[in-house]
Amino acid sequence: MMNRVQKQQDNSHAWIEAFTRLGAEGVTALDHLEQITTRDVRFRDPFNDIVGTPSLRALLEHTRRQVQEVRLEVLDTADSGERLYLKWEMSGRLPVGTTPGVLGPVGPVL
Protein backbone atom coordinates (compact mmCIF):
# COMPACT_ATOMS: atom_id res chain seq x y z
CA MET A 1 0.00 0.00 0.00
CA MET A 2 1.32 3.43 -0.94
CA ASN A 3 1.82 5.81 1.96
CA ARG A 4 0.85 9.48 1.87
CA VAL A 5 4.40 10.77 1.38
CA GLN A 6 5.04 8.44 -1.57
CA LYS A 7 1.73 9.48 -3.18
CA GLN A 8 2.65 13.18 -2.80
CA GLN A 9 6.08 12.56 -4.32
CA ASP A 10 4.53 10.65 -7.22
CA ASN A 11 2.02 13.48 -7.79
CA SER A 12 4.82 16.06 -7.66
CA HIS A 13 6.76 14.19 -10.34
CA ALA A 14 3.60 13.76 -12.42
CA TRP A 15 2.84 17.49 -12.17
CA ILE A 16 6.36 18.47 -13.24
CA GLU A 17 6.14 16.05 -16.17
CA ALA A 18 2.70 17.32 -17.26
CA PHE A 19 3.79 20.95 -16.92
CA THR A 20 6.89 20.49 -19.07
CA ARG A 21 5.01 18.36 -21.64
CA LEU A 22 2.43 21.13 -22.04
CA GLY A 23 4.75 22.92 -24.45
CA ALA A 24 5.34 19.95 -26.74
CA GLU A 25 2.05 18.08 -26.45
CA GLY A 26 -0.43 20.84 -25.78
CA VAL A 27 -3.48 20.41 -23.60
CA THR A 28 -3.41 16.60 -23.81
CA ALA A 29 -0.58 16.82 -21.29
CA LEU A 30 -3.27 17.94 -18.82
CA ASP A 31 -5.47 14.87 -19.21
CA HIS A 32 -4.80 13.72 -15.64
CA LEU A 33 -4.64 17.14 -13.98
CA GLU A 34 -7.42 16.32 -11.52
CA GLN A 35 -5.58 13.19 -10.36
CA ILE A 36 -2.27 14.93 -9.68
CA THR A 37 -3.48 18.13 -8.01
CA THR A 38 -5.80 18.93 -5.14
CA ARG A 39 -9.11 20.70 -5.77
CA ASP A 40 -7.70 23.80 -4.05
CA VAL A 41 -4.42 23.83 -5.99
CA ARG A 42 -2.85 27.30 -6.09
CA PHE A 43 -0.89 28.44 -9.12
CA ARG A 44 0.97 31.70 -8.90
CA ASP A 45 3.32 33.32 -11.37
CA PRO A 46 4.18 36.97 -12.02
CA PHE A 47 0.88 37.51 -13.86
CA ASN A 48 -1.62 35.12 -12.29
CA ASP A 49 -2.69 33.96 -8.85
CA ILE A 50 -5.43 31.38 -9.18
CA VAL A 51 -6.95 28.70 -6.99
CA GLY A 52 -8.69 25.51 -8.06
CA THR A 53 -8.21 22.84 -10.68
CA PRO A 54 -10.82 24.25 -13.13
CA SER A 55 -9.17 27.69 -13.06
CA LEU A 56 -5.71 26.18 -13.46
CA ARG A 57 -6.84 24.06 -16.40
CA ALA A 58 -8.48 27.09 -18.05
CA LEU A 59 -5.35 29.21 -17.64
CA LEU A 60 -2.99 26.57 -19.01
CA GLU A 61 -5.30 25.72 -21.92
CA HIS A 62 -5.71 29.38 -22.79
CA THR A 63 -1.98 30.04 -22.62
CA ARG A 64 -1.24 27.01 -24.77
CA ARG A 65 -3.78 28.11 -27.40
CA GLN A 66 -2.48 31.71 -27.49
CA VAL A 67 1.27 31.12 -27.52
CA GLN A 68 2.90 29.28 -30.40
CA GLU A 69 6.03 27.17 -30.10
CA VAL A 70 5.68 27.03 -26.34
CA ARG A 71 8.67 25.75 -24.42
CA LEU A 72 8.44 25.21 -20.66
CA GLU A 73 11.56 24.33 -18.74
CA VAL A 74 11.66 23.56 -15.04
CA LEU A 75 14.87 25.07 -13.65
CA ASP A 76 14.54 24.10 -9.99
CA THR A 77 12.08 22.50 -7.58
CA ALA A 78 11.40 22.32 -3.87
CA ASP A 79 8.92 19.82 -2.48
CA SER A 80 7.94 20.10 1.19
CA GLY A 81 5.46 17.25 0.98
CA GLU A 82 2.63 19.75 1.37
CA ARG A 83 3.65 22.18 -1.36
CA LEU A 84 5.55 21.96 -4.59
CA TYR A 85 7.49 24.98 -5.78
CA LEU A 86 8.80 25.25 -9.32
CA LYS A 87 11.18 27.76 -10.77
CA TRP A 88 10.43 27.65 -14.46
CA GLU A 89 10.97 29.49 -17.69
CA MET A 90 8.52 29.77 -20.52
CA SER A 91 9.25 30.93 -24.02
CA GLY A 92 7.15 31.04 -27.14
CA ARG A 93 5.93 33.14 -29.97
CA LEU A 94 2.79 35.25 -30.07
CA PRO A 95 0.75 35.10 -33.28
CA VAL A 96 1.16 37.96 -35.77
CA GLY A 97 -1.13 40.81 -34.86
CA THR A 98 -1.18 40.04 -31.14
CA THR A 99 -0.59 43.11 -29.04
CA PRO A 100 2.57 42.69 -26.98
CA GLY A 101 1.78 42.32 -23.31
CA VAL A 102 0.96 39.63 -20.84
CA LEU A 103 -1.41 36.82 -21.69
CA GLY A 104 -3.93 36.59 -18.89
CA PRO A 105 -6.69 34.00 -18.48
CA VAL A 106 -8.96 35.87 -20.89
CA GLY A 107 -6.46 37.30 -23.36
CA PRO A 108 -3.76 39.90 -23.65
CA VAL A 109 -3.44 42.20 -20.67
CA LEU A 110 -1.46 45.38 -21.21
Q: Give the mean pLDDT per block of 10 residues along the chain (110 residues).
A: 62 82 78 85 89 90 84 87 85 72 47
User: So what's the pLDDT on residue 8?
Assistant: 67
Determine, yes or no, domain membership for 38: yes
For residue 19, tell me if it sits in a domain: yes
The residues, ordered by sequence, that sit 6+ positions from 35 with a Cβ below 8 Å of its Cβ are: 11, 14
pLDDT of residue 2: 53
Q: Is residue 15 part of a domain?
A: yes
Residue 32 resides in a domain: yes
Q: Phi and psi for 103 in degrees, rounded to 5?
A: -85, 110
β strands within 1-110, DSSP E = 42-44, 49-51, 68-79, 84-93, 102-104, 107-109
Would 26 be classed as within a structural domain? yes
Is position 45 within any domain? Answer: yes
SS3 89: strand
Structural domain total, the chain = 1
Rounded CA separation 43/99 (Å): 25
The residue range of the domain holding 25 is 4-92
Residue 54 lies in a domain: yes
Domain-located, residue 48: yes
